[in-house]
Chain A
C-alpha cells in the first residue's frame, strides 16, 4: 500500500533526511521518500503491519507536523458536499419563509382590528420595527448579496429585491415619522410595511420551493453516488477484515458474499457468480463473472462468492467516472442557453432603467393633470417598486440547466451517458441515424449458424473434426468454430501434420483421417465433389452466411456456416427508430450481398456497402451535405473517425468502459433500443427547454409592462407590489417544476 502524507515544518535537507529515516525504520514500511519541496512523504507499507495513522504518529514524534491525507477529491464526494449545502440552504429558507409568512399575516390583520382605535401612529411604529426585523433577519441575505454584487458592478435578483423593498421601506419610514409632510402636500401618508414583510415571505417561499426542486433535479446523481458502499471486506494476512473504503488500496483482495454490493472495481481471482450491473448499465440480465473477469464497484453480487483484486479506486473508479461524466454534462451549456445568457447579462440593469422610466412617466402624466406633486410621486413610486419586484431573472437562468440536469440523470438510469448540453440538443434534432453493421446491428462476434452433415456423419462428429483441425488456426472463423464446439462440450483432439493453404483453408490428420476445411476452391483442388450441396450453398449465401466445407479422406463430410448474428433486438429497435420519423441507414464495409442480407433481416432499406474504414467519414459527410442531422452509431473504436465526423456520435455497448473519446453519447447497453431511447430523451428535453425559455421570457415580457402600469390607461389594471412578488416567486418554481416532468420519462 502506498500513501502520500502531507508533512509540514521541514525547512532543510536535514529535516527531510530525519523524517525519511524515521519512516524507514518504522515496522511494516517497505519504502519511504520524503520531499522537502512538496512537503510530503510517499510511503509504501504493508497494510497488515502498520497503518496510515501509525505513520502519521511516527512523523509527529520526530517533531514535524503531519496529517492523515484527505480523501482524494472525486465526483462522489463532490456530490455529497453539494447535497449537504443544498439541504442546509433549503432548511434555512424554509424556516425564514415560515416565520416571515406568519409575521406577514399578523401585519395584515392587526391593523384591521385596530382600525379607528386612535392608535394608528403607535401601530405604524410597531410595524416599522416588525418589518425592520424581518428585513434584517429573514431578508438579510438579499441586502448583503445585493451590496456585494453592486460593489462588483454586477446586479442580480437580490439587487431587484433589495432595491424594491429598500425603497418601499425608506418611503414608509418617512411617512411614519413625518406624516404631516405628505398631508400638507395632498397625499395620504400610506405605509408599505405589511407589503414588505409579505414580499420577503413570498420570495423566500419561492426560493425554498426552488431549492427543493433544484435538489430533486440531481436525485438520479445522488442515488448513483449513494450506491458506493462505505466499507469493504478484504484479506489481510489471510484473515478477512472489514475496513473503511478509504483504507482500501489497489491490489487488496476483496471478498464478496452472495447478495452483497461490490465495493470497488477489480479483477476476479477466484470464485464465480452472476453480477447485477443494471444500476450502471441499464442491462437487466446479470453478467457472469469467472476468474479473470472484470468487476465494477457498486454492482450487486448474485448467488456465488467472489474474491477479486481491487484495481481502480476513488476518482478512477467506474462509478466515479460515470458520476463525473454526468456532472460535467449537467455543467455544460446547451446552445439554446446562449440566448438566455445574453439576456440575463443585461437583464437587471435594464429592469432598473424601466423602473426609473415608469416613475418618470407616471409622475409627469399625473402631475401635468390634476394631481399634486406628492400624490404623483407616490403613484410613480408604487409603479417603480412593482416593476423591480416582478422582474425575475432566475426563471431564465434556470430554464435550460434544470432540464439538462434531470435529463442527464434520467439517461444515466438507462445506461445512456450524454456528454454535454450540445450533444443533447443536437441529438434532439437528429433526422438520420446511420448504423455501422458489425458490432452495432450485429453482435460483432462471428458464430456457427448452420451445421450440415453430408452422408453418415453426425452433426457432433462433423463439428469435432472441424474444431480439432481449426484449433491450430487463429482465423476468426476458426475461433468461432472452436468456441462453438467447446460450448457444446465436444472434446477437441490435437491435429497432426497441420498444413495451412493460404487463402483457401487448412488440412491435417485428425484421428488417423485426412481432414481438410476451407472454401470451394480448396475442395476443387483436393478433388472433392460439391455438386450435392449446391442448393444449400446458394441458400447460405443469400442469408449472408459464410460457408466452409469439411472433407474427410477425400469426400465431402459437410458444411459449416459462420455468420455474425444480428442482435436479437435490432429489428424491433429499427422499426422504433423509423416510427420516430428517422431515416435509418446502414453503413458497412462488407460486400453488398452480405450487407443487403443483414439489412433485409432487420428492415433497413438504405444500405451503403463496400465502404472502406476511411470511407465511412465520407459517407457521413455525404448524408450531412443533403441537410440531414446525422447520428452515427458504432462501437466507438473502429468507427471513431465516423463518430467524430457525425453530428452526434453514439458509441454502443460500451459496457462500463465509458471513456469513449469520439462519442457524444455512450450507450452502456449493447442494444439499438438505447439509441431510440437516447434520441427520445433528447427530443423531450429539448422541447422542455424551449417551453421553459418561452415561459421565462414571456413572463417578464408581459409582467414588467403590466407592473409599470401599461394596462392602466385602457383597463384600469395596476398591480400591487405584493401580487408582483407572488408572481415573481412562483415563476421560477414553475420552470423548475416543468423540468422535473422529465423524471417521468420512460422510453419504452
Chain B
C-alpha cells in the first residue's frame, strides 16, 4: 500500500463517520408548540420529512398537529403516532389535523406509514 491507498482508506473512514453522525447522531432544530386556550398547536410541513421534526409540548394540554403535506410522494402519505394508536392519511397539498390527548411527560415518536420518516414529540 502506498500513500494514495492510505489516503483513500482515510477518506473512506471519514465519509463513513460523517454518514453515521449525520443520520444517527445529529439532530435538527426543535420547535415548541404554541399554547392557546385549552389547546397547544403546532404546524408541521411534510416534505421528504417533518419540519420541524422535534416538537416540544406541555403535558397539561391536548396537542393539535396540523400537518401540511407539500408533496405527492407516497412515502409520506400517512402519519402514525404509535403510542396513541393514531394513523391518518394526509392528502397531498392539504392540511390535516391530528389531535392528541394531553400527553404524559415523555418522548413520543411519530413516523410515516412505513417508519422511514421520523419525528419526535417531547412532552415536559
A-side interface residues toward B, CB under 8 Å? 78, 81-82, 85-86, 88-89, 141, 144-158, 211, 214, 328, 331-333, 340-341, 344-346, 348-349, 352-353, 356-357, 359-360, 363-364, 367-368, 373, 393-394, 397-398, 401
Kindly provide the distance from the CB of A140 to the nearest chain B CB, expressed in whole angstroms: 12
Q: Is B33 an interface position by the 8 A CB rule? A: no
By the criterion CB–CB under 8 Å, are B72 and A360 in contact? no
By the criterion CB–CB under 8 Å, are B26 and A153 in contact? yes
By the criterion CB–CB under 8 Å, are A156 and B116 in contact? yes
By the criterion CB–CB under 8 Å, are B87 and A360 in contact? no
Give chain A residues whose Cβ lies under 8 Å from the Cβ of B78. Answer: 331
By the criterion CB–CB under 8 Å, are A153 and B27 in contact? yes
By the criterion CB–CB under 8 Å, are A364 and B9 in contact? yes
By the criterion CB–CB under 8 Å, are B4 and A367 in contact? yes
Known contacts A141-B73, A356-B15, A356-B19; is A368 also within 8 Å of B5 by CB? yes
A357 to B28, CA, bound (A): 27
B22-57 to A contact mask, C-beta < 8 Å, 1/0:
111011100000000000000000011111010000
Give chain B residues whose Cβ lies under 8 Å from the Cβ of A352. Answer: 19
Kindly provide the distance from the CB of A283 to the nearest chain B CB, expressed in whole angstroms: 30
A204 to B82, CA, bound (A): 31
By the criterion CB–CB under 8 Å, are B85 and A332 in contact? yes
Known contacts A152-B53, A359-B12, A368-B1; is A401 also within 8 Å of B114 by CB? yes
Give residues of chain B (60-105) contacting chain A, Cβ–Cβ below 8 Å.
71-75, 77-78, 80, 82, 85, 87, 89, 91-92
A144 to B26, CA, bound (A): 22
B-side interface residues toward A, CB under 8 Å? 1-2, 4-5, 8-9, 12, 15-16, 19-20, 22-24, 26-28, 47-51, 53, 71-75, 77-78, 80, 82, 85, 87, 89, 91-92, 113-118
Known contacts A82-B89, A141-B73, A332-B85; is A353 also within 8 Å of B19 by CB? yes
Residue of B nearest to A359 (CB): B12
Partner of A154, one of B15, B16, B49, B80: B49
By the criterion CB–CB under 8 Å, are A349 and B72 in contact? no
Known contacts A153-B26, A333-B82; is A349 also within 8 Å of B48 by CB? no
Kindly provide the distance from the CB of B65 to the nearest chain A CB, expressed in whole angstroms: 16
Residue of B nearest to A142 (CB): B73
Partner of A152, one of B50, B91, B114, B115: B50
User: Could you give 6 example pairs across A and B, Cβ below 8 Å?
Assistant: A141-B73, A153-B28, A155-B23, A360-B9, A360-B12, A367-B2
Kindly provide the distance from the CB of B80 to the nearest chain A CB, expressed in whole angstroms: 7
Residue of B nearest to A85 (CB): B92
A394 to B26, CA, bound (A): 25
By the criterion CB–CB under 8 Å, are A373 and B74 in contact? no
Known contacts A328-B87, A356-B19; is A156 also within 8 Å of B24 by CB? no
A150 to B19, CA, bound (A): 11
By the criterion CB–CB under 8 Å, are A156 and B117 in contact? yes
Give chain B residues whose Cβ lies under 8 Å from the Cβ of A394. Answer: 114
By the criterion CB–CB under 8 Å, are B117 and A85 in contact? no
Give chain B residues whose Cβ lies under 8 Å from the Cβ of A146. Answer: 48
By the criterion CB–CB under 8 Å, are A364 and B5 in contact? yes
By the criterion CB–CB under 8 Å, are B116 and A393 in contact? yes
By the criterion CB–CB under 8 Å, are A397 and B116 in contact? yes
By the criterion CB–CB under 8 Å, are A151 and B49 in contact? yes
By the criterion CB–CB under 8 Å, are B23 and A349 in contact? yes
By the criterion CB–CB under 8 Å, are A147 and B23 in contact? no
Partner of B8, one of A150, A211, A364: A364
A348 to B48, CA, bound (A): 14
By the criterion CB–CB under 8 Å, are B117 and A356 in contact? no
Q: In this complex, which of A156, A332, A348 has the most chain B Cβ atoms within 10 angstroms of its Cβ? A: A156
By the criterion CB–CB under 8 Å, are B77 and A85 in contact? yes
By the criterion CB–CB under 8 Å, are B87 and A332 in contact? yes
By the criterion CB–CB under 8 Å, are B115 and A397 in contact? yes
A639 to B19, CA, bound (A): 55
By the criterion CB–CB under 8 Å, are B19 and A349 in contact? yes
Residue of B nearest to A88 (CB): B72
By the criterion CB–CB under 8 Å, are A154 and B118 in contact? yes
Give chain A residues whose Cβ lies under 8 Å from the Cβ of B73. Answer: 141, 145, 158
Residue of B nearest to A358 (CB): B12
Residue of A nearest to B14 (CB): A356
By the criterion CB–CB under 8 Å, are B117 and A397 in contact? no
By the criterion CB–CB under 8 Å, are A152 and B23 in contact? no
Q: In this complex, which of A89, A147, A149, A348 has the most chain B Cβ atoms within 10 angstroms of its Cβ? A: A149
Residue of A nearest to B91 (CB): A81
Q: In this complex, which of B5, B47, B116 has the most chain A Cβ atoms within 10 angstroms of its Cβ? A: B116
By the criterion CB–CB under 8 Å, are A154 and B26 in contact? no
Give chain A residues whose Cβ lies under 8 Å from the Cβ of B85. Answer: 332
Give chain A residues whose Cβ lies under 8 Å from the Cβ of B72. Answer: 85, 88-89
A367 to B77, CA, bound (A): 47
By the criterion CB–CB under 8 Å, are A397 and B47 in contact? no
Partner of B113, one of A89, A211, A401: A401
A158 to B77, CA, bound (A): 15
Residue of A nearest to B92 (CB): A85
Residue of B nearest to A400 (CB): B114
